[in-house]
Chains A and B, each alone.
Chain A
Amino acid sequence: MNHALVQLAAEAEKENPLIPPWPELVIGLIAFVIVFGFLAKKLLPTINKVLEERREAIEGGIEKAEAAQTEAQSVLEQYKAQLAEARHEAARLRQEAQEQGATLIAEMRAEGQRQREEIVAAGHAQLDADRKAASSALRQDVGKLATELAGKLVGESLEDHARQSRVIDRFLDDLEEKAEATR
């Protein structure tokens, strides 16, 4: 067995490994042409088509997603605008209500003031009238009493009516003067 190796080695010495024998070149060419033929003519165009379709599908998906996003965006903006409007409206209503409330309170206050003044005025008038009535009633009573008292004191009946009333008036005026002075 060993000398077979040696023989083979001796044979190899004669061959230059950089010089290709032509049958191997031919087989190499055929083998490569087979690969190139199948790949270039059939398989790569097929897969290219699918890759292209997939790329388009993915891009289409992206476009769809983008469209959905822009729609969502516009809807959101719409909602935001509506919300802002509603908020504005609410603020306006509140403002109005406040203003109305203020005027109402002012009106009520004015009305109350007026009513109070009326009541006070009525009370004053009533008091005046009462005072006058009381005053005139007192004047008569005091006159009569004083006359009676004076008559009893003097011991004579003061029959003369005119004289009587003159005396009383004078007396009362004196009283009033005194009252005026003390006030």
Chain B
Amino acid sequence: MSADPTQVLAFETDCHLFDGCGFPAPGLHSFMFEPLWGNADGNGLYFNKPMLLALLSSIIVVGFFWAAFRKPKMVPGKLQMVAEAGYDFVRRGIVYETIGKKEGDKYVPLAVSLFFFIWMMNLWSIVPVASFPVTSIIAYPAVLAAIVYITWVSLTFKRHGFVGAFKNFTGYDKSLGAVLPLAMTIEFFSNLVVRPFTHAVRLFANMFAGHTLLLLFTIASWYMLNGIGIAYSGVSFVMVLVMTAFELFVQAVQAYVFVLLTCTFIQGALAEHH
């Protein structure tokens, strides 16, 4: 985005192979954005490109479903049919499969919202100009994982009471005998501490890695565009196309996995402990 002066794109440099300048490798700085508005230093308020993309994601998801479902028809039009297919995929393919129809119906809106919101945020990765997956910034997966965490933990307490929830979290099982305290400690730690962390990081790391790879090949295509390097540049550019297609796949898969895990956690919270 041109309004972002320090976010230097490789194409804006004149740095090529044999020009005596090093390869401008992508790194953590590729995920730092100067604010479009405000000041990122300290605790000040600011607004940057990923935030803009996140809000745009909301608008696009809501806009899409608004256009499709606002005045739904018995005999659906094309848009409604596509939206229904997506809705049904999450509803039947994820929620009903894990939680079941009877209990799961209540969590369909959460799952559908999560899936399409995450997918849209991921999709920005391959949208020209935007070309940045919002979920490769930990804050966004973290918020969503926190929402899911609060949902299933409170649900466990509501369903099983305090003692029941404790047993649920620790996987209490008398038949374990002497190792029970150890097993309970591990389970407790795994369920309540590690689980939300991995839930968020799984999505974040996948998108982070994917974006880094895309950047690497894109920058390399530009950087090597000099002399004999042109041949390598061509190879690198083919890799850009391949990785873009692969990312398209990963984006959907990661959104799917995030929602699937969400439903699994909720199902675990609802399950009777025995």
Contacts and interface: CB of A to CB of B under 8 A. Distances in A.
Interface string B206-228: 00100000000000000000000
A11 B117 CA distance: 30
Interface in B1-57: 6, 8, 12-15, 21, 24, 27-29, 31-32, 40, 43, 45-47, 50-51, 54-55, 57
A37 to B, nearest CB: 9
Nearest to B13: A1
A50 B87 CA distance: 13
A153 interface: no
Interface in A86-135: none
B216 to A, nearest CB: 15
Contacts of B116: 35
Interface in B111-154: 112-114, 116-117, 137-140, 142-144, 147
Given A8-B29, A34-B58, A43-B70, A29 B21 contact: no
A32 B143 contact: yes
B87 A40 contact: no
Contact of B32 (A2, A12, A36, A54): A12
A172 interface: no
Contacts of B139: 20-21, 24-25, 27-28
B15 A32 contact: no
- Among A8, A12, A19, find the residue whose CB has the most chain B CB atoms closer than 10 A: A8
Contacts of A39: 61-62, 65, 109, 112-113
A2 B50 CA distance: 24
- Among A2, A5, A21, A50, find the residue whose CB has the most chain B CB atoms closer than 10 A: A5
Given A34-B62, A38-B65, A44-B108, A8 B32 contact: yes
A32 B8 CA distance: 30
B28 A12 contact: yes
A17 B24 contact: no
B87 A47 contact: yes
Contacts of B47: 23, 27
- Among A4, A27, A40, A53, find the residue whose CB has the most chain B CB atoms closer than 10 A: A27
A12 B51 contact: no
Nearest to A13: B28
B142 to A, nearest CB: 5
- Among B62, B68, B73, find the residue whose CB has the most chain A CB atoms closer than 10 A: B62
Interface string B141-178: 01110010000000000000000000000000000000
Contact of A43 (B13, B28, B65, B204): B65
Nearest to A20: B139
A11 B32 contact: yes
A162 to B, nearest CB: 140
B110 interface: yes
Contact of B109 (A20, A40, A54): A40
Contact of A12 (B12, B27, B83, B117): B27
A77 to B, nearest CB: 36
Nearest to A8: B29
Contact of A32 (B28, B40, B45, B58): B58
22 contacts: A5-B29, A8-B8, A8-B29, A11-B29, A17-B31, A17-B138, A18-B138, A20-B142, A23-B46, A25-B143, A27-B47, A27-B55, A28-B142, A31-B54, A31-B58, A32-B113, A32-B117, A35-B57, A35-B62, A36-B110, A43-B65, A47-B69
Interface of A: 1-2, 4-5, 8-9, 11-13, 15, 17-25, 27-32, 34-36, 38-40, 43-44, 46-47, 49-51, 53-54, 57
Given A1-B14, A24-B50, A43-B69, 7 more contacts: A4-B6, A5-B8, A12-B31, A21-B40, A40-B113, A47-B87, A50-B72
